[in-house]
Amino acid sequence: MSLLRVENVVKYFGGLVAVDNVTFDVPDGGIFGLIGPNGAGKTTVFNLITGNYKLDKGRIVFRDMDITGMLTHRVVALGIARTFQNIRLFSNMSVLENVLAGYHCRMTSGAVAAMLRLPNQRAEERRAVGRAMAELHFTGLGSQAENLAKNLSYGNQRLLEISRALASDPGLIILDEPAGGMNEHETTALVDLILRIRNRGITVMLIEHDMSLVMRACEHIVVLEHGKKIAEGTPEVIKSDPKVIEAYLGSEDDDI
C-alpha cells in the first residue's frame, strides 16, 4: 500500500512549468529518493506535498486522505514532517527549544492553561522536554541541548532540523538535501541515521544531489528532469537507465 500518492501534479511559476504532470507513489516503510539535476523541480514537489505551495492541477493523497491544498501545519499534524534545503532553524533559541517546536502539534495546552499553570499543562511540558531530549539523543545532539541553535556546526544544524522534524511524530519524513555541506565522514553517519529513522517505522523521502548517498540508502527512486518524471525504480535500474545518464552527464551529441 502506498503511504503517499502524488497524482498528475502540475505547478506553474508564471509561464514556466516547474512540475509537469508528475505521478508517483511512496511505499509505506521504506526509503524513497527523489533525484534530478538542478532546477528539475524536486524541492517544488516537496513544497507542494507540504502545502508550502498551492498546486495548479492534480492531487496529493496521504494515508488515503486528500491533503491537496491543505495548510502546512495541518499537513504536519497529519504526519508529514520536513527539513529545509537552506537550513531554517530558530537560531536564537536553544537546541532543545528548536526540537520542542516539532513536538508542538502533539501538545494541547493553550494560553489559559499556561497562565493558570494547570497540572495537566505542567505534566505535558515535562513530557515534551523528555521527548525532545530523547530525539536529541537519537541524532547525537544530546550534549548540545542548552546551546543556541546558531552556535552549532553546519552538520549539527542539519541534524537538529532532523530532530525537530522527528519530534512531530511523523509517518513520513521529507529530507531536503540532508547531506548538503557535509563531508564524507558525516555523510556516512547520516546514512546510518536515515536507516535508524526507517527502523523506527518512519518512511523517509529524500531529495539529494549526492548520488552515492542516494544509491546507498534508497530502495526506490524517482528521477525528475525539467519538471517531468523520466525514470522510476530501484537504484540498479536507475543507474543503468540511459535517460538518467543523459540527464546527469549530457548526451554524447552535446559535446560536439
Partner 1 sequence: MSFSGKNIRNGIYAAVAVCWIAAPVFLSNYQTDVLNNIAIYALLGLSLNIILGYGGMFHMGHAAFFAIGAYTTAIINTSYGIPVLWLLPLSGITAGVFALVVARPIIHLRGDYLLIVTIGMVEIVRIALVNNIFGITGGPNGIFGIASPQVFGHPINGIVSPGHYFYLLTAFLAFTIAVFYLLEHSRYGRALKYLCSDSIAAEGSGIDTSGYKLSAFVIGAFWAGMVGNLYAGKITFISPESFSFWESVVMFMIVILGGAGSIPGVLLGAILIIGLPEFFQELQQYRLLIFGIALVAMMIFRPQGILPPKPHTYPVDKLDEKEVTL
CA distances from 127 to 59, 94, 102, 148, 197 (A): 37, 18, 13, 22, 21
Please, what is the minimum distance in Å from the beta carbon of residue 98 to partner 1? 9
Q: Are the beta carbons of 45 and 6 closer than 8 angstroms? A: yes
Give me the least distance between CB of 193 and partner 1, in Å please. Answer: 14
Binding partner 1 by CB under 8 A: which of 10, 17, 134, 215? 134
Q: Assess 180 for contact with partner 1 (CB under 8 A).
A: no
Task: Tell me: does residue 171 bind partner 1 (CB under 8 A).
Answer: no
Question: For residues 176 and 210, which CB has a smaller minimum distance to partner 1 in the complex?
Answer: 176
Assess 214 for contact with partner 1 (CB under 8 A): no
- Cβ neighbours of 191 (radius 10 Å): 17
Residues 244, 223: contact at Cβ < 8 Å? yes
CA contacts within 13 A on the Cβ side of 190: 30
Nearer to partner 1, 77 or 230 (CB): 77
Name the residue type at position 2.
S
Measured distance CA(197)–CA(102) in Å, rounded: 16
| Contact partners, residue 90, CB within 8 Å, separation at least 6 | 97, 98, 101, 149
Provide, rounded to whole angstroms, the least separation between the CB of residue 101 and partner 1.
Answer: 4
Binder among 63, 104, 198, 226 for partner 1 (CB under 8 A): 104
Candidate ranges 58-66, 115-123, 203-211, 236-244; the one touching partner 1 (CB under 8 A): 115-123
Closest-CA residue to 101 (of 45, 161, 145, 48): 161
Tell me which stretch binds partner 1 (CB under 8 A): 131-139, 151-159, 228-236, 238-246. Answer: 131-139
Query: Looking at 6, 45, 49, 128, which residue binds partner 1 (CB under 8 A)?
Result: 128
Do the beta carbons of residue 120 and residue 113 sit within 8 Å? yes
* Cα–Cα distances in angstroms (integers) from residue 14 to residues 11, 17, 18, 50, in the given order: 10, 8, 9, 21
Interface mask toward partner 1 for 40-59; x: CB under 8 A: ----------x-x-------
| Pairing outcome for strands 172-176 and 31-35 | unpaired
Residue 237 found at the interface with partner 1 (CB under 8 A): no
**Residue 123 makes contact with partner 1 by CB under 8 A:** no
CB of 7 to partner 1, least distance (A): 23
For partner 1, the binding residues (CB under 8 A) are: 50, 52, 71-73, 76-77, 81-82, 84, 88-94, 96-97, 100-102, 104-105, 107, 109-111, 113-117, 121, 124-131, 133-135, 137-138, 145-146, 148, 164-165, 168, 200
